[in-house]
A and B are shown apart, each in its own frame.
Chain A
């Protein structure tokens, strides 16, 4: 019998125990995969290595193996699950509606819970997920430190002195990814209300400004608010909000994620707004899933029903101010890269295009394979640097071929990743959030 052969070394009982703790919801969801393989062509990791184990169908089969007690969660098995970008391109491709992201995340949570990670990994996980993301002041300090290092030239000095080379490899990659911080954080300096332009507000929204982005990419947030105002929207800045929890959920730290979600529900409760707007694809996907993650919590369902990507709100409105070309000197060649968690997780593709097409003085060029992941994928570029680089290389090649002056993408991780890729390839292409380019078109 080949059934047993796959688990030869490990006693069948181990597999049975593993099966017994397999999350029942994921087990049920797994059954909608009919093994047709129509998702293979859409998967970035499979495209890279042609390994069935690193395809959506293969990963689902591995998880089925775990659920059915035919496989044990060996290192090799978890490695294939870890190599998944969680980009969810397979969900868009799958005609059977397999909820791959849900299945993967609950399987990961099960594996994290079951595994006894090494001391150093436990410490790192605790630091990143339990301390940094749950405590804004800790994150602010880390960000402040980053900023200070940049401003003071310390980072360059450290690089020059070869200190960077002494850091463990993962930290070095992290270091290379650090955004160039031009501006101060957003929330700390923001008024409570940004008034709508052009008379009575057409909509009133609360702004989800998140954690890392709020601290390190305040510029994008200010641009976003400006564009909303220019579409007649009144924007509330909400103090006390937390990280959306997306990174924790992706990493299988479900409890931490739920804790963050609950605090956000508390903070955003009863504001009486038309929408809770965000400008980060990854956060947006998580916010829209609160209702499901905190199943049975009416507040969570209400919150998720109000969560919107900024492009969704803008697409339904018109600008109330005159627009000018963002670059007075020439027509800009611009392309758009679809963030996975916007396109695949939230199924949003038309709206950002509708909005961006309002910008005058722009020649749009098509980016081939725009629907493929860039390899950023949360903290994937740190945990899986090799695959991340390979996936990024394809994106940069495609970008190079377009000859674009500017590439737009609505997710902070993607912006940093592609920016770094361009820099490394010497590609003089500016990488911006769509809202940044739009803001330049507002007088």
Chain B
């Protein structure tokens, strides 16, 4: 385990007092044993204890808290559900955690214009539930959608299986109310964005994916999407992961755009099978989950073509889910696969690289070889249609030597991605966990441009410092030493 920074002196008493005045004493947590659970998010390899946690209930409270931090030059980080996988919500330097989970109201659903306005702590799936009766849904569907928040989705520009056809978060956010790191509140874009591009700069597009470094979103206007008339889900079983990858390329090369195209390898099959007993053949090398949707007419024709593509690539069996119940079960297996890995391993480390689809077989082979070299099992369950890999490296966090091997394996995986002309992250963000790799894909000038944009929003570098873009040599947070970036190869 890496404890990235030692805990600095506690939050200054004057700031604590201001925070208590802003949100009430009961909503400011400072006891060590209650801060303990906030030392990490969905990424458990890196840990840092916050200086305090405040629970906020309204945009006004957020603004008051941020103002107090700005006045005290004290850094803060927003937290939604803490399901992030790149350590985005980890409180480096004893930062203040601003917990938004209580801001969980769907403020308005405008069915006519298909726009919803929500608070940032609304759980992704709850938004879909709120408008499902009227045949609408919120399209970006990260696999963590039962827990992760819209605010977190905005910060990470999250995707999901269905973003292959429907696009990622940024394609669905119309407007944002943001508390800037100096405590000012501004509105970027707005519900009218549903009608077309708004004049002026696309600041919404800039904010989405900024990993909490541009300020805190306190209100989000999103587009709602009609539930398609027909959905057909196919399951194709392949003898090997290479064959399955070839199937992916063949389907896409045929000009077919499935709603989702997911690959699940044999290790994951074993984990989900133990849980859901779906009847996946345990000797299969990989399965593809292919979803087609749209108007009823013509869908069978497309399904037939997809099946043909699979057979041409040597699939052992391909069939459609027999009913809605089986379809939902297949998706449950896919979406909860990371968690199911707990059945075969105490910990996992998941990567998020994106590569050209044509390179899938080559990179997947390298991942497996790297795991073998380090004595660790690797597993894959990912958005194959997008070439967005999610290799999982399985290890036991109680064994320090395995942590070292996992980190070394991880580096080789990322190198393989970069060599294949790929990118570090598709949807989980850079956070702290891929920070050290940024200079390998961006020049110092590129990163300088990013730092300058950031400085426009956050000149004092108070909002989630030490994330997303590596700091220059002289680190901006006053009084705190620069974060010890995880060295590419960590030796104890």
Contact = CB atoms under 8 A, between A and B. Distances in A.
Contacts of B272: 95
A2 B34 contact: no
Contact of A94 (B36, B83, B339): B339
Contacts of A35: 40, 42, 44
Interface in B56-111: 81-83, 99-102, 104
Contact of A37 (B31, B48, B99, B144): B144
A7 B34 contact: no
A380 B3 CA distance: 38
A72 B34 CA distance: 11
B39 A2 contact: yes
A74 interface: yes
B82 A38 contact: no
A51 B55 contact: yes
Interface string A228-253: 00000000000000000000000000
A52 interface: yes
B83 A37 contact: yes
Contacts of A6: 32-33, 35-36, 39, 49
B337 A50 contact: no
B120 to A, nearest CB: 12
Interface string A36-80: 111111100010011111000110011001000011101011001
Given A35-B42, A38-B144, A38-B147, A7 B339 contact: no
Interface in B328-372: 336-343, 345-348
Contacts of A49: 55, 102
B37 A36 contact: no
A75 B318 CA distance: 56
Contacts of A74: 31, 33
A98 B342 contact: yes
A72 B3 contact: no
B7 A97 contact: no
B6 A50 contact: no
Contacts of A61: 36-37
Given A34-B348, A38-B146, A50 B121 contact: yes
Contact of B343 (A3, A9, A32, A36): A32
A70 B36 contact: yes
A114 interface: no
B126 interface: yes
Contact of B147 (A1, A34, A37, A80): A37
Interface string A1-32: 11101111100000000000000000000011
A33 interface: yes
Contact of A72 (B33, B37, B123): B33
Interface residues of B, number: 53
Report whether over half of chain A's contact residues are helix, strand or loop; otherwise say mixed: loop
Nearest to B124: A41
A93 interface: yes
Contacts of B39: 2, 6
A5 B338 contact: no
B38 interface: yes
Nearest to A65: B36
B6 A41 contact: no
B275 A95 contact: yes
A38 B336 contact: yes
B47 interface: yes
A46 B80 CA distance: 12
B338 A34 contact: yes
B125 interface: yes
Contacts of B7: 2, 5
A96 interface: yes
Interface in B305-326: none
A36 B338 contact: yes
Contacts of A50: 55, 99-102, 104, 121
B321 to A, nearest CB: 19
B340 A7 contact: no
Given A37-B81, A39-B147, A95-B275, A53 B34 contact: yes
B116 to A, nearest CB: 18
A35 B350 CA distance: 13
A7 to B, nearest CB: 7
A76 B34 contact: yes
Interface residues of A toward B: which range?
Answer: 35 or more
A190 to B, nearest CB: 41
Contacts of A36: 42, 83, 144, 338-339, 342
B33 A77 contact: yes
Nearest to A35: B44
Contacts of B37: 52-53, 57-58, 61-62
A41 B102 CA distance: 12
A324 to B, nearest CB: 33
B82 A52 contact: yes
Nearest to B129: A368
Contacts of B38: 52
Most chain B CB atoms below 10 A, which of A9, A74, A97: A97
Contacts of B102: 49-50
Contact of A1 (B6, B336, B398): B6
Contacts of B121: 50
Contacts of B100: 50
Contacts of A72: 33
Contacts of B339: 34, 36, 38, 94-96
A95 B144 contact: no
Contacts of A95: 272, 275, 336-340, 342
Interface in A187-235: none
Contacts of B33: 6-7, 62, 65, 71-72, 74, 76-77
Interface in B465-492: none
Contacts of B55: 49-51
Given A50-B102, A71-B36, A33 B342 contact: yes
A40 B147 contact: yes
A51 B104 CA distance: 13
Nearest to B47: A2
Contacts of A8: 32
A49 B40 CA distance: 19
Interface string A94-105: 111110000000
B31 A76 contact: yes
B158 to A, nearest CB: 14
Nearest to A47: B104
A77 B36 CA distance: 10
Nearest to A40: B147
Given A41-B123, A62-B36, A5 B49 contact: yes
Nearest to A68: B398
Contacts of B40: 35
B131 to A, nearest CB: 13
Q: Which has the most chain B C-beta neighbours within 10 Å: A3, A32, A80, A95? A: A95
Contacts of A96: 339-343
Contacts of A51: 55, 99, 101
A58 B337 CA distance: 21
Interface string B118-145: 0001010110000000000000000010
A61 B37 CA distance: 6
A41 B104 CA distance: 12
Contacts of B340: 95-96
A279 to B, nearest CB: 28
A334 to B, nearest CB: 20
Given A51-B55, A94-B339, A2 B82 contact: no
7 contacts: A6-B39, A9-B32, A34-B338, A36-B144, A38-B339, A41-B123, A62-B37
Top 10 nearest A-B pairs (CB, nearest first) are: A96-B342, A50-B101, A95-B339, A95-B336, A40-B147, A34-B342, A95-B340, A6-B36, A37-B83, A58-B37
Interface of A: 1-3, 5-9, 31-42, 46, 49-53, 57-58, 61-62, 65, 70-72, 74, 76-77, 80, 93-98
Given A3-B47, A62-B33, A93-B146, 9 more contacts: A6-B35, A6-B39, A6-B49, A34-B339, A37-B147, A38-B83, A38-B336, A40-B81, A49-B55
